[in-house]
Amino acid sequence: MPSVDLAERAIALAASGDRNGAVNELVDAAGDVDALEEARDLLVRRIQARSDDYEATAGLTLLNAAIATAGPKAEVTWKPKKWRLPR
């Protein structure tokens, strides 16, 4: 789904009362985190242009929840720090 349609869908779903269902629908419709992030960027620009756009704010909240649900797009490899001094 294109990011413009995804942003509009997030705004429409924000009016519904089922937040978890709306988040799951956005994740399924997007397919990947990149599409969700592009839609989020569109709504951020819309809010920057008009700060009293509460529909866009509600849609942005859903998109942020969907991004958190979808998880990170990059695998992070963490290694513990090697201490130089004895502990």
Tell me how far apart the alpha carbons of residues 85 and 41 are, in angstroms, rounded to a whole number: 45
Task: Classify the C-alpha dihedral 7-9-14-20 as positive or negative.
Answer: negative
Please indicate, yes or no, whether the overall pTM of this predicted structure exceeds 0.85. no
The conformational region for residue 31 under phi > 0 = left, psi -120 to 50 = alpha, else beta, is left
pLDDT confidence of residue 76: 64
Q: Spell out the per-residue pLDDT of the chain, length 87, in tens.
A: 788 999 999 999 998 888 999 999 999 999 888 999 999 999 999 999 999 999 999 999 999 999 999 887 666 677 777 777 766
